Amino acid sequence: MIFCNNGEELDKNEPTEEEQYQQADASVTTSSEGICIHSMVIAGQIEGHFAASPQSKSTKYEQCIPTLVAVEENDAIDGLLLLLNTIGGDIEAGLAIAELISGMTKPTVSIVLGGGHSIGVPLAVSAKRSFIVPSATMTIHPVRLNGLVIGVPQTFANLAKMQERIIEFIVRNSRADGDTVRKLMTATDDMTTDIGTVIDGREAVDHGIIDKVGGLGEAVRELKDMIRKSKGAAF
């Protein structure tokens, strides 16, 4: 028998509002200690305006966006737990999801599991508190473009602007400074065939990108503490 924060029993014979939208993506709503938490998984490639190959694991931004809106608007849900294991993907789609999470009024906690690479970095810092497990890694590199390029100078200028937007978002939502992020992005001595830097859990915290090194239990405990404080402030 499950109860949410309003004390009402959830009727398990009929799908709740949470269950109706959680079927659209890799997410689940759980309840304990009078607290309801919605957990969302962002895994594989973040799919944007173009579909990923059938062989690729992907997270579709058009499914994440309505889920996040529903979590923000549903009074029965107290907070969001974001679980990340992503190789990155579409920049605009990733930033769209990250901006939604950073703009939520409810308590939010992220945890980087296997990896939070590329555009996964803004997603990791978008929550109000961020965790990373010790064995996880994060790849920070410049913005890339595949395929035919028409108008090279203009394209490079647009890429530079996009890269600055990403850096600004990371700085705005973490303890990292812009110079540190740019240095990590443009390093040439860390990756054998690419520009950028791969950092592990402890390094991510040392650089100020992630708040704490910790596992699932610590992330959930932090989120519940934030929810209790927010409830106390509301009364």
* 38 is an active site residue: no
State the catalytic residue, choosing from 58, 117, 126, 141.
141
H-state helical runs in the chain: 17-22, 61-73, 91-102, 120-125, 152-172, 178-185, 201-206, 216-234
11 in a structural domain? no
232 in a structural domain? no
Burial 1-17 (b: 16+ CB within 10 A, else e): eeebbeeeebeeeeebe
CATH value at residue 106: 3.90.226.10
| Ramachandran class of 71: left when φ > 0, alpha when ψ lies in -120 to 50, beta otherwise | alpha
What does pTM read for this prediction? 0.84
5 in a structural domain? no
pLDDT tens readout for residues 165-205: 999 999 999 999 999 999 999 999 998 778 999 999 999 99
State the catalytic residue, choosing from 58, 118, 130, 174.
118
* 118 is an active site residue: yes
Total structural domains in the chain? Answer: 1
* 119: its two tokens: 């555009």
212/129 Cα distance (integer angstroms): 8
Map residue 48 onto helix, strand or coil.
coil
Map residue 8 onto helix, strand or coil.
coil
Q: How confident is the model at residue 19 (pLDDT cuts 50, 70, 90)?
A: very low
* 32: its two tokens: 């304990």
- Domain of residue 155 covers 17-225
